[in-house]
Every structure is written in C-alpha cells, then in structure tokens.
Structure 1
Amino acid sequence: MFRRTEPTDCTIVWEGRELPARAGESLAAALLAAGITSFRETPVTGAARGPLCLMGACFDCLVQVAGTQNMQACLVPVTPGLVAGIQHGARSFEEEAA
C-alpha cells in the first residue's frame, strides 16, 4: 500500500524490531512504509487501530515513544534510534508514578 520513493538514512526500533526510516519524516509514515498498519489497541475491545487522518486530528495513531504513552505517531518526527511501540488500551498512570 505505502512504499518509499527515496532511500532511508537511519533506523528506528518498533516493538524491538529495527526498521529503516528517514530522519524528520513522521513516525506514522515510517511505520506505514515498513508495512506496519496497527499502531494501538482500543481500551474496551482490544481492536487494532492505525492512522486515519495523518494530521493529528483523529488520535487513532497513538503509540508509546521512549516510554511516553499517548503520542500521536503522525506528529512525532523520526530521529535516529527512536524507540516506539504499540499502545495497549488506555494510558496507564501507575507506570508514570513509578
């Protein structure tokens, strides 16, 4: 569905897996280019969700970036070595207090 037209210049880590990316592109774009379409799970049913609007309006692309939850992948710029993962359900406040 999505494919790169230019070469990559760095890698990011998604769920422990290294993926090619371009510094400065959105995390959502990098994940979609790598074939990843499920970014989070809903709190109620656990249904998979992925980016819809790619401009920060829908909140369907929420991910965890460097341990911070509720980050919109479409608004997070890629930096070399960025570490991110799926957001499972609702944000956890207990993890932040620890």
Structure 2
Amino acid sequence: MERRSAPDQLDQRAQVLLKTLIERYIAEGQPVGSRALSKFSGLDLSPATVRNVMADLEEMGFIASPHTSAGRVPTPHGYRFFVDCLLTVRPLPQERVHEIESEL
C-alpha cells in the first residue's frame, strides 16, 4: 500500500498539529506530548482532543511513540509530508542577503 503525501490526506486541524509537533521536535529534540501541542499549536483544543488526533496521525504513519508513556516523534513519512505540504519557505530579508554576500 503506497502512502500519499497530498494536503487533502489530513484535515486542517491534523495538519496544524503535525506541523507544530515537527517544529517542536526539531527545536527541542525530545518527543512532543499532547499538552505541549495543545499549548503551542494556537488551536483551542484540550489535551484529550489532541491525543485523539495524535492517535490518528500515528495510525496513518506520520508520527510514532518511542515508548509507551512518551510523547510522539515524526516518522520519515511525517517529515516528507511536512516538507512537501506544510513547510513554507520565506525569502531572506535583503539586509541578510547583503551580510551573507559580504562574508563570501
């Protein structure tokens, strides 16, 4: 069975939670729990609701639990979806471009 990486594969709430989970995991290097996702996602969701969405994301192969009581971490499939569908690339401010060019 081939996994799709189309934005319509996940509803908006699941996309926001997956993006938040991956960003928190990249920033902290630790499994991310439902309470942290509830706090940092910007969505008005209880940790219990977040846990339900996390269970769905885990079932679909986007996230995994390193051990029973831990938070969740992104899987390669989750990272791929993040890069293909959720990551926004912003251009560098012109002043930063000039700084970089002057260093070269």
TM-score, structure 2 normalization: 0.24
Structure exhibiting the larger radius of gyration computed from Cα positions: 2
TM-score by length of 1: 0.25
